[in-house]
Structure 1
């Protein structure tokens, strides 16, 4: 029955084809390995719709080969067929970005180089860094990845390979997908980053968010911005930001930022706002009490225990953590969790899961596949991690899983150190019941732009989305949001949440929007 249905569908598509579409002139061979068939069919339809020709076999007429990554392409096509290929080899990420922006993005920043036959084993991991691929199947893979794979194999044995991958977000695959944009306009993004801190400290979330949205767009550009004309049609870049970019490109600085940094009040509030536990209102209060420096603030008697720790370890907490260190700490956390509770799922979310080279802190999202054993786990976990001197100071510790309050989510915020080190890093541990884990994983992976878009999309469809579920929104009074219902829509995985909302699926490394 399936083949006739596909034939009927194909007969209806020609009227929708735009022969002058953005993929005009492309003859494409699509490598299906690693991609769901339904998604592959959507991409085929989009390519055909926008002017491309699809070949069902790798022929001499092919101009472009698209695949999940270089590894999957080499498994499908013999390297001898590819080494003389004069066309371009691209990951599906290139296609997704082109469809998202409504125009072909430059192929050069995504192009995959095919190694010579003798280089395959040595070069695939290195070459793949740009497109975000490491091969975890080789017996001599990095020992750290092997430890994670070993843990995942234990889970697969207990609960089924498909189920464990679905729950954990296919961690072994995700670890290899690095976010490595060209980042050729750091002169602009660094200034925007400083403005984010200023506006956050001043409590102006709207302006801070506009700069936050702009940074990923700019750092992904495959060219150095030399004229405002080059960014005229970029998404998320309004007139005010374009004017800022023009000034930075022309003068190398931004007068607005210089004005803020010369203003004592703004400078002081921004400084205090970077201390963990101090928000805009509290920072302003301390300024009005006459404090101007961190040393001044150390004598403030009203500081809470958490704020005092934030002040004490101010420089440590602000320092970015290299990805390699985060990976090593995640290994330790995974192994420790498995020792305490076999089968536990522990994933490091945040910028690490999104593939960033540096992280501000560790966001650890935890569950157990059986939906029961997560209860009571956090207290044992925290105690064990303190015993081995990994967790050092507590900031927040709340347990709700036993009573079922607060959606049964257990929380620990604190400071940690690597074994043998004294530098503190911020760490958040969140333990979710299995039935709402997907929502927690999405929220704690981020980024903020994506989370905001998903929340707004949910609201437009009559739902409320947060880290504990997707709820039917009750009717609110005019001009006010309604409350959320008590029961969440059941979604077993992140992908199911995206599908339910009708939002295109994004792998974690694609969520730096």
Structure 2
């Protein structure tokens, strides 16, 4: 009976219009939700020929300079506006009206009734020139402008255009506002003073006047976290994105321990529960490191919550591609929490009782369990080019900017790239060995790589040490690539690098184990060598990296290159709270920081060589690699 009730409940939800979905309207990185019929038709026309692995989504956001983006289809005059601020566009209002009123399909724009003179201020009885619903990129969003009036012609024009493209203009402040649009000559303090608030609610996206214009120009919601949309004086909580494992950074923001950044509009009871949990969390900081579960090395299918984790992981990858680092962290923490459960979590109540899973994520867990799907993920997949973006980004040597460029050039599949695109050497290798590089490496095969490297290199120098890091060291059942940490007792990085580049790597090429160097370093500098390898007797290429580490920094490097990333950020944040800093080179004390936590002094090195000693100095119980699944 319970099963039928649940299925009926979600069936009714799925019959609702997409815009009634309870998912965050404040997510300014959300993909433009087009009508399903139009989307399916375009998706079928543009479906890529070749793909591998599960289908993910990629929210299209603009991170490259606007001048690098080609002109959208059906908007021939827009290229003249790309590098022009919205304020300067106002000076050419008549021309701009013609350009921005042009529908995306190339049809003639509708005209506002009774508007002989359009100064952005809508007269009483004057109708808006609303675009077709499928083109309304701001549909479901509520805009609050500051100043919040249409007296100034330029601002009046911005307000009217936002409404024509689907936004609701909130003339008074309310909790449901999704975007706050601030004039460029005003600052964050001005806004707070006017609203009589201590801080802007976290669910409201804060951008300057340029943001709506750029969204209209590109016909989708661009990434609001870019520098050009920031408001003076607004401290944006984006530091998490500056802490990837392959970047030399040493601290995390306070916000990295937020419990569920995807949750919004919580009930009062839930807010009290969250506050209680957070207070308890802050009082017993170190205890969180005791609750980490052991990585058992089993495959994902053996976990009772495997399917739920799989769908949430797809959602996390979606937010990762959208550069929504708060929600990405929230989903990762929820996934890590579910992996620790010994029984299947089937209800929102059970999910919400788990640390780091908020009310909204708990609802999603229940939805996945009872329907085997997540409508939020399906909505994220509506953008026709998502699948193409995803495919291009999987190619070795291709980043977001390159994938964007190829999409704008009209390429839709790998055959297009091979026939028409200008490819680098690494990109050609990435395409040729696409399936190999996308296939996870079983642990047994990782063991064989480890054994081969040790046996081959020990014949040359028995003192040099090779340690596979990453998920392999954490005990995972499979890995993405083979990451060797390379060091030599009592030797500097120069010695390690010279041995590897002059002797070891050439020998591995001679033996035909190494196939190609993809990102090599000079003998005089650098700490990494990236390439591809294949075990003797096999034709499958695997990505392989050698990370050169001086002996005195081995402990810190082992922590850094073992992960996982949330565990690493947690340790770095803990060090920061203690007036210290931790990076891949060591733990430093007496670090002096200035305004906005800017580091003034580097501090004094306390420990770098001994991994366990670093834990001890941070007052954290020793956690073997198998337990670093935060």
Contact map agreement 2:556 2:609 (CA 8 A) in 1: no
RMSD: 2.8
Residue in structure 1 matching 2:508, options 355, 369, 385: 385
Evaluate the alpha carbon distance shift between residue 245 and residue 198 of structure 1 in structure 2; reply closer, same or farther with a 3 A threshold. same
**Would you say 1:374 and 2:496 are equivalent positions?**
yes
Residues 393, 415 of structure 1: 8 Å contact kept: yes
Which residue of structure 2 lines up, in the alignment, with residue 365 of structure 1?
A: 485
Q: Does the CA contact (< 8 Å) of 1:198 and 1:266 recur in 2? A: no
Deviation at 1:353, TM superposition (A): 0.9
| CA distances 1:52-92 after superposition (whole Å, capped 9, x unpaired) | xxxxxxxxxxxxxxxxxxxxxxxxxxxxxxxxxxxxxxxxx
Q: Give the C-alpha shift of residue 477 in structure 1.
A: 5.1
* Alpha-carbon distance in structure 2 between the residues aligned to 1:353 and 1:424: 21
Equivalent residues of 2:580, 2:587 under 8 A apart = yes
**Aligned mate of 2:384, from 250, 253, 264:** 264
Contact (CA 8 Å) 2:534, 2:540: kept in 1 or not? Answer: yes
Stretch moving more, 302-311 or 312-321? 302-311
Whole-angstrom distance in 1 between the partners of 2:438 and 2:359: 32
1:453 corresponding residue in structure 2: 570
Measured after TM superposition, the shift of residue 509 of structure 1 is 0.6
Cα gap change, 1:475/1:291 in structure 2, threshold over 3 Å: closer, same or farther? farther
Map 1:238-277; keep pairs closer than 5 Å: 238-277=358-397
**Counterparts of 1:338 and 1:465 in 2: how far apart (Å)?**
32
DSSP-derived class of the 1:489 partner:
strand
Q: Report deviation, 1:396.
A: 1.1
What residue is the counterpart of 2:49 in the other structure? Answer: none
| Counterpart pick for 2:598 among 478, 481, 485 | 481
Tell me what 2:579 maps to: 462
Given the alignment of the two structures, is residue 347 of structure 1 paired with residue 347 of structure 2, yes or no?
Answer: no
Q: After superposition, what is the alpha-carbon deviation per residue over 1:296-322, rounded to whole angstroms, capped at 9, x for unaligned?
A: 233464543333322322211110111
Is there any run of 5+ residues in structure 1 with no aligned partner, and where?
Answer: 1-97, 111-130, 133-176
Distance 1:245 1:101, change over 3 A: farther
The residue number in structure 2 matching 1:423 is 540
Q: CA deviation at 1:349?
A: 1.0
Which shifted more, 498-507 or 195-204?
A: 195-204
What corresponds to 2:399 in structure 1? Answer: 279
- Give SS of 2:356's match: coil
Q: Return the offset for 1:324.
A: 0.5
- What residue is the counterpart of 1:394 in the other structure? 517
Deviation at 1:368, TM superposition (A): 0.8
Question: Displacement of 1:486 after TM fit?
Answer: 7.9
CA contact (8 A) 2:289 2:621 kept: no
CA distance 1:482–1:300, change in 2 (3 Å): farther
Count of matched residue pairs = 341
Q: Is the Cα contact below 8 Å between 1:445 and 1:508 reproduced in 2?
A: yes
| Match in the other structure for 2:551 | 434
Instruction: Provide closer, same or farther for how the CA distance between residues 422 and 428 of structure 1 changes in structure 2, counting only shifts above 3 A.
Output: same
| Alpha-carbon distance change, 291 to 438 in structure 1, aligned in 2, over 3 angstroms | same
Do 1:193 and 1:211's aligned partners in 2 also have CA atoms closer than 8 Å?
A: yes
1:505 equivalent in alignment to 2:622: yes
Asked if the contact 1:213/1:236 (under 8 Å) is kept, the reply is: yes
1:83 maps to which residue? none
Alignment TM-score, normalising by the size of structure 1: 0.61
Task: State the match for 2:342 in structure 1.
Answer: 222
User: Aligned ranges for residues 51-450 of structure 1 at < 5 Å?
Assistant: 100=288, 178=297, 183-299=303-419, 301-372=421-492, 373-379=495-501, 380-399=503-522, 403=524, 410-450=527-567
Are the equivalent residues in 2 in contact too, given 1:202–1:269 (CA < 8 A)? no
Which structure is higher in RCO with an 8 Å CA cutoff and minimum separation 6?
2
Q: Distance in 2 between matches of 1:441 and 1:300?
A: 43
Distance 1:469 1:398, change over 3 A: farther
Contact kept in structure 2, 1:202 and 1:280, CA below 8 Å: no
Which deviates the most, 301-310 or 188-197? 301-310
Q: Which has the larger radius of gyration?
A: 2
* Equivalent residue number for residue 146 of structure 1: none
How far apart are residue 347 of structure 1 and its match? 0.7
2 CA distance for matches of 1:304 and 1:483? 41
Please say if residues 303 and 339 of structure 2, whose CA atoms lie closer than 8 Å, have aligned partners that are also in contact.
yes
